[in-house]
Structure 1
Amino acid sequence: MNFLRKILFPFSILYGLITCIRNILFDNDILKSHSFDVPIIAVGNLSVGGTGKTPQIEYLIRLLCDKYKVATLSRGYKRQSSGFILAQTNTTAAILGDEPFQFFNKFPNIQVAVDADRKKGIEQLLLQKNKPDIILLDDAFQHRKVKAGLYILLTSYGDLYVNDFILPTGNLRESSSGAQRASIIIVTKCPSSLSIEEQQMIRNKLKLSEKQELYFTFISYDNFILSESRKVKVDEIKTTPKVLLAGIAKPDSFFAFFDNKNDICLSFPDHHHFTDKDILKIKNLAQNKIIISTEKDYVRLKGILPGGQLFYLPIQSRFLSKSASSGDNFDKTILNYVGTSSRNR
């Protein structure tokens, strides 16, 4: 905790008090949460960014899209638009936001929408002629005007919410007691070799209720990097000097994956808007080198950086196979919730 964050401690107490009062008002129906006649799964976190929400939403899409009409609803952080927007063929990353645009590109058979007001966004989705069977709310754990049927809370292995503090001293958006609203808690970005013993230690730290399920996931990197027209094996370019580019909250694991001291690593803030100056800098550093970005950055840089040089590295969230709660159990919980909710509509 640096010095500036320490001196802001009184503001953390005030902020924590405000969020606590807000939650009490919602818990006691003084402030109203709106329910909808459709299964809604909210995925979010207690901390600011970097817990792996995007790959977790994509996991849910893959799990559900063959059986149900799926829609995602996001805020569309830093998009150059406002209000409700449903992605169409002419929609861009600037209009939709980078993460929703990534969903739209990868999953053409689902509906992708953005609206800062999730209640209004859901209402608009349900007015569509081809209305969804299920809605996935992206980064909506604190959006309490909507009452989801199932809450999934993510927390990073290296930064558990129980070890953090409320903003601005720490990175929590609300007190760690907010985790009680979650039906499922997923510890993300774990080492793939995480032992059963350490999993149990984390379970003890989190102090879950009997009704809460706990899972552990890790980030799985693809064996290929992809461009507009090509895919290249990672093994073929690992030793080749290249430019690695990441505008995400915690890029260290992305850079470490390639493990080449001759790589040029460029780190930008999360959801960074690349300026002309940024693009010129990247081009000057790259020269004839290939440029590999995260998938989230790629959707914004495609068409701006040379297509022959620009690649991205796909990732997926995977559940630890050696776990007290495996991915199979997670899938059953999700499918049971959606199926039961759909039958009871």
Structure 2
Amino acid sequence: MKGILVPSKPMNFNIPLLRPIRILLFPFSLVYALVVKVRNWCFDKKIFTSTSFNLPIICVGNLAVGGTGKSPMVELLIRMLKDRYAIAVLSRGYKRKTRGYALAGESTTALDIGDEPMQFHSKFPDVAVAVGEERIVAIPQLLHDRPGTRAIILDDAFQHRAVKAGLNVLLTDYSNLFTRDWWLPSGDLRDAPSSYRRADIIVVTKCPEAMDEDQRRAIEIEIDPKPHQQIFFSTISYGTPYHITRQTAGVVNEEVEVLLVTGIANPAPLKRWLNEHSRTYYELAYSDHHIFTIDDLQAMIRRFTGITAGKKLILTTEKDAVRLIKFKQELEDWPIYVLPISPGFLFGEEDRFANVITTFINEFK
């Protein structure tokens, strides 16, 4: 429960507790599935139209709600492309306090454009980052503001078929493959499993580092990629924690107790990492994209103060950090650190992935 300070290592409040509730929601899933299938059929039959643009557009998305690693993948693409091409990123800007199109600038905050776009803007200030609920409207505005743009990365737009991307990168979580999932709200799928056929690249994310060829082959058989599709496997690579305001490096090891503060969809991989790297950890969990208040900050400080260990720190994610940084002055003197992550490709295939991306841009007509 939020507000109770208890060690998280021995506890396991897992999804099976929610399954009876989800079973009750099964009829609503059938209605949802019907609506989505009719919508997709209308796009397939060109009753609803998809618009193409005369530049390379790379879409990063998934079929399920929750964290499949879209933001780290977008960041990987930015790092891969920004020194070679003038690129831009376009997101919806989920849970921002504004509406319509907006291009990030020097005074932009997470409330203006959302936490994930703000994360991109903070880490890559020279890259154009924009938001807009209607991508088909936002893309021309973005190109008007940045006419030299060579390619656009669409963040979380696989199911938004009004824009036809030239290259679709579909992510699916190793622990919750779309092939084993079910429709919302009794499952996590927001799009039809068969929609995976629209993807050009499929990335199975959050795989165990020790994944072997037999496991890889079993998943490839289960997903059944089509002849035009390439499939990759990635794991989570954790970087060095850095202080939220001073950017100085921090250390998490078996002597340190950690207060984990998150407002993300799937903190499970991060908890597993803490199980392996910290003495113990305590959790203060909020809903995905939670907008932190001064009361939340005070609760965090109280819980941290209640930890009696000599070596302790507060740890949060980069996505949460952009929503906490508005309390910069209050956080300056507290040991609150941010843990960066990035996708690490297994089986030595990052160069092959990069080649697919750059070839698409270079050969775009």
TM-score range (shorter-chain normalised) is over 0.9
Could you tell me whether the CA contact under 8 Å between 1:226 and 1:313 is conserved in 2? no
**Alpha-carbon distance between aligned partners in 1 of 2:337 and 2:148, rounded to the nearest angstrom:** 35
CA distance in 2, matches of 1:58, 1:282: 29
Instruction: Determine whether 1:250 maps to 2:252.
Output: no
Asked if structure 1 preserves the Cα contact closer than 8 Å seen for 2:255 and 2:279, the reply is no
Is 1:295 aligned to residue 311 of structure 2? no
Which letter maps to 1:311? Y
* Residue 319 (structure 1) aligns with: 345
Distance in 2 between the 1:238 and 1:335 partners? 42
For 1:95-126, what per-residue CA distance to the aligned partner results, in whole angstroms no more than 9, with x for missing partners? Answer: 11000000001011110000010111101011
- The residue that corresponds to 1:75 in the other structure is 92
Alignment of 1:137-148 (within 5 A): 137-148=154-165
* Corresponding residue of 1:266: 284
The one of 247, 257, 260 equivalent to 1:241 is 257
- Cα separation, 1, equivalents of 2:241 and 2:316: 13
2:206 equivalent to 1:189: yes
In percent, how many aligned pairs have the same letter? 41
8 Å CA contact retained: 1:42, 1:141: yes
Counterpart secondary structure, 1:231? coil
| Pairs within 5 Å for 1:114-193 | 114-193=131-210
Give the TM-score normalised by structure 2: 0.89
Matched, 1:48 2:65: yes
Structure 1 partner of 2:226: 209
| Distance of aligned partners of 1:306 and 1:224 in 2 relative to their CA distance in 1, 3 Å threshold | closer
Task: Indicate whether 1:9 and 2:34 are aligned.
Answer: no
Of 344, 347, 352, which aligns to 1:329? 352
Deviates more, 1:255-264 or 1:103-112: 255-264
Instruction: Indicate conservation of the 8 Å contact 2:200/2:229, yes or no.
Output: yes
**SS state at 1:20 partner:** helix
Farther off after superposition, 110-119 or 277-286: 277-286
By how many angstroms is 1:267 displaced? 1.5
State the Cα distance separating 1:233 from its structure 2 match: 4.3
Separation in structure 2 between the aligned mates of residue 184 and residue 282 of structure 1, nearest angstrom: 41
- Residue 27 of structure 1: aligned partner: 44
- Whole-angstrom distance in 1 between the partners of 2:247 and 2:353: 34
- How far apart, CA to CA, are the structure 2 residues paired with 1:300 and 1:71? 22
Closer, same or farther in 2 for the Cα pair 1:128/1:232, shift >3 Å? closer
CA distance in 1 between counterparts of 2:186 and 2:173 reads 18
Q: For residues 336 and 230 of structure 1, what CA distance do their matches in structure 2 show?
A: 36
Q: Give the 3-state SS of the residue equivalent to 2:96 in structure 1.
A: coil
In 2, are the aligned partners of 1:245 and 1:265 still within 8 Å (CA)? yes
Alignment RMSD: 1.6
Local SS of the residue matching 1:258 = helix
Q: Deviations over 1:219-266 (max 9, x none)?
A: 10013433322422435x552223211111111221232333543221
Deviation readout 1:161-210 (Å, 9 max, x if unpaired): 00000111111002200101000000000011110110000000101111
User: Could you report, residue by residue, the CA deviation over 1:6-54 in whole angstroms, capped at 9, with x for unpaired residues?
Assistant: 1221221121111111111111211010110110001000000210000
Distance of 2:200 and 2:259 partners within structure 1: 41
Q: Which moved more, 1:57-66 or 1:8-17?
A: 8-17
The 3 A distance-change label for structure 1 pair 303 and 227 is same
Asked if the contact 1:141/1:151 (under 8 Å) is kept, the reply is: yes
Alpha-carbon distance in 2 for matches of 1:303, 1:115: 23
What is the 5 A alignment of 1:78-97? 78-97=95-114
**1:211 Cα deviation after fit:** 1.1
* 1:18 counterpart = 2:38: no
Deviation at 1:129, TM superposition (A): 4.6
- The 8 Å contact of residues 260 and 316 in structure 2, kept in 1 or not, is answered as yes
Query: Measured at CA, do residues 261 and 252 of structure 1 come closer, stay the same or move farther in structure 2, by a change above 3 Å?
Result: farther
Tell me: CA distance 1:77–1:25, structure 2 relative to 1, closer, same or farther (3 Å). same
Cα distance in 2, alignment partners of residues 82 and 39 from structure 1? 26
1:277 aligns with 2:295: yes
Contact 2:243–2:250 (CA under 8 A) maintained in structure 1: no
Q: Structure 1 length normalisation: TM-score?
A: 0.94
Q: Does 1:63 align with 2:80?
A: yes
8 Å CA contact 2:60–2:158 kept in 1: the answer is yes
Q: Partners in 2 of 1:258 and 1:225 — Cα distance?
A: 16
1:308 — aligned with what?
A: 333
The 10-residue stretch of structure 1 (279-288 or 43-52) with the greater mean CA deviation from structure 2: 279-288
